[in-house]
């Protein structure tokens, strides 16, 4: 299994905001920094019109916690730029996360106010993780949520992630990983394949055809190098002429053709009819070119075998962030007892108290609601499923949630969660969350 250290992952401690460390400094000064605290990451609402979200990035957070340390380079930077004082620098020099992490399994569906990730530690430790946690959860969950909608629209036809050139190089790897978790068959990104063991795919671009003196010469070179099972790009010049050339060279063993421009619905029908008339009934058709979930749904009646999705996927298909927040919900008082706390600002209020959650299922195993217990586990019926998992205990990572193993596990979780959702979850029309979130026995909040 590939581990973070095997690709030389850098320290993650400065993937944060300046004020996280100034808060730490002030809390050390007041003496409150060492109070035991509970922080939660959640989304107050789903993107407008979306019916569910998909948790993405938990495994990457856990991998990054292993490297969230302050070495000489980081400490020198903080000192030279007067970010924090000497007392805080000394504390950071010895920092290693020693708390516990719980939450929804990666690949799980979430809804408004679902307690997606819970961090229990001292205020000092949990506070400085905020930006790092949110930057990963917001990006990866947005991608996973978009990918899930695309998979629902595609039905049994596989989707391939190919958006690396449309985003930052590290976010491209994260997007590939999130897409696979949500059901994509594979990715074009080789680094994602190295780090997480996901399937990588790809053949040739238009430049390969243009490099050669003729389209026929390009096809012969690709087939000779990669074998007859390869997929040929047939829309560089004239699609019909290209398909005829491809079949003439490769015969009925030709693996596939790819369409990347024009009216994909009409072209797919024409190409399918042409391939069949030439005896290539088993040659597959892949379509690409700025697809999103709506374009994929519009191609449902087309004779298409697979989809390649890029820009819309890696940018969240209209929702580039999951809008998650990270809030202190409970902390230790002077008497050693925990006190529930919450922000009360207009339109940004949160609910205090540590949360627990379960998915309420009917007798057929279909979800009917998300039940959140405040300060306790909600009462479960025989069919209900507890949602919170334990990822890290007292700074020790629980095995199975990271690397390639974590991706496989998250992919299975997403498929199982989708199967228990009502059929309305697969609809692309705008609507309310597919199931409601219900609170059980709220505890009064100290403001």
For residues 122 and 215, what is the distance between their CA atoms, to the nearest angstrom?
65
How much of the chain, in percent, has pLDDT values that exceed 90? 90
pLDDT in tens, 378-418: 988 889 999 999 999 999 999 999 999 999 999 999 999 99
Q: Is residue 377 part of a domain?
A: yes
Give yes or no: residues 306 and 334 share one domain.
Answer: no
pLDDT of residue 1: 37
pLDDT of residue 227: 97
User: Is residue 419 in some structural domain?
Assistant: yes
Q: Are residues 245 and 343 in the same domain?
A: no
pLDDT score at 126: 97
Both 251 and 333 in one domain: the answer is: no
The average pLDDT across 154-158 equals 96
At 215-260, the pLDDT tens digits run 999 999 999 999 999 999 999 999 999 999 999 999 999 999 999 9
Helices within 117-164 (DSSP H only): 123-127, 130-154
446, part of any domain = no
Is there a single domain that holds both residue 255 and residue 306?
yes
pLDDT digits (tens, 9 = 90+) for 329-384: 999 988 888 999 988 777 777 789 999 999 999 999 999 999 999 999 998 888 99
Is 208 inside any structural domain?
A: yes
Do 296 and 358 reside in the same domain of the chain? no
Q: Is the residue at 133 inside a domain?
A: no
pLDDT at 9: 63
419-447 pLDDT, tens digit each: 999 999 999 999 999 999 999 875 444 44
Specify the DSSP class assigned to residue 446: B
Q: In a 3-state reduction of DSSP, which class is residue 138?
A: helix
Contacts of residue 23, Cβ cutoff 8 Å, sequence gap at least 6: 127
Task: With beta carbons less than 8 A apart as the criterion, state whether 203 and 222 touch.
Answer: yes
On whether both 158 and 236 belong to a single domain, the answer is yes
- The answer to the question of residue 138 being in a domain is no
Same domain for 85 and 13, yes or no, is: yes
- Structural domain range at position 422: 4-128+323-440
Provide the CATH number for the domain around residue 243.
3.20.20.70
Residue 227 domain-assigned (yes or no): yes
> Going by C-beta distance under 8 Å and a sequence separation of 6 or more, which residues neighbour residue 257?
231, 232, 233, 234, 242, 243, 246, 271, 275, 283, 284, 285, 286
Q: Are residues 148 and 120 in the same domain?
A: no
pLDDT digits (tens, 9 = 90+) for 25-62: 999 999 999 999 999 999 999 999 999 999 999 999 99
Do 388 and 307 fall into the same domain? no
Q: How many domains is the chain partitioned into structurally?
A: 2
Domain presence at residue 139: no
218 and 309 fall within a common domain: yes
């Amino acid at each position: 299994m590939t581990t973070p250290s095997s690709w030389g992952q850098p320290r993650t401690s400065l993937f944060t905001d300046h004020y996280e460390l100034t808060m730490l400094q002030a809390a050390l000064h007041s003496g409150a920094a060492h109070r035991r605290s509970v922080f939660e990451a959640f989304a107050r609402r789903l993107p407008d019109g979306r019916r569910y979200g998909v948790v993405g990035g938990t495994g990457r957070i856990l991998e990054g916690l292993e490297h969230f340390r302050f070495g000489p380079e980081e400490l020198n930077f903080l000192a030279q730029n007067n970010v924090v004082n000497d007392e805080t620098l000394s504390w950071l020099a010895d920092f290693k996360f020693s708390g516990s992490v719980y939450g929804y399994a990666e690949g799980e569906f979430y809804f408004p106010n679902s307690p997606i990730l819970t961090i229990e530690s001292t205020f000092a430790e949990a506070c400085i993780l905020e930006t790092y946690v949110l930057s990963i959860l917001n990006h990866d969950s947005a991608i996973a949520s978009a990918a899930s909608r695309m998979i629902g629209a595609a039905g049994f036809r596989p989707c391939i992630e190919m958006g690396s050139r449309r985003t930052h190089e590290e976010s491209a790897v994260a997007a590939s990983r999130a897409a696979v978790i949500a059901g994509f068959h594979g990715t074009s990104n080789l680094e994602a394949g190295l780090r997480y063991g996901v399937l990588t795919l790809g053949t040739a671009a238009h430049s390969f055809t243009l490099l050669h003196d003729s389209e026929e010469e390009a096809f012969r070179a690709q087939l000779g190098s990669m074998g007859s099972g390869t997929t040929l790009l047939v829309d560089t010049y004239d699609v019909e002429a290209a398909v005829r050339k491809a079949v003439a060279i490769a015969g009925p063993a030709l693996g596939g053709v790819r369409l990347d421009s024009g009216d994909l619905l009409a072209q797919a029908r024409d190409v399918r009819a042409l391939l069949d008339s030439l005896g290539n009934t088993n040659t597959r058709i892949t379509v690409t070119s700025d697809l999103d979930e709506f374009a994929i749904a519009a191609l449902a009646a087309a004779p298409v075998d697979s989809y390649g999705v890029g820009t819309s996927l890696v940018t969240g298909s209209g929702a580039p962030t999951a809008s998650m927040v990270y809030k202190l919900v409970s902390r230790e008082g002077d008497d050693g007892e925990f006190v529930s706390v919450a922000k009360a600002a207009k339109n940004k209020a949160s609910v205090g108290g540590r949360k627990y959650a379960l998915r309420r299922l009917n007798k057929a195993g279909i979800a009917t609601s998300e039940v959140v217990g405040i300060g306790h586990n909600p009462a479960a019926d025989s069919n209900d499923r507890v949602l919170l998992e334990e990822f890290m205990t007292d700074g020790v990572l629980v095995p199975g949630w990271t690397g390639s193993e974590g991706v496989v596990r998250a992919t299975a979780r997403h498929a199982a969660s989708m199967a228990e959702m009502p059929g309305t979850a697969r609809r692309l029309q705008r609507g309310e969350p597919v199931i409601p979130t219900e609170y059980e026995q709220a505890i009064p909040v100290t403001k």
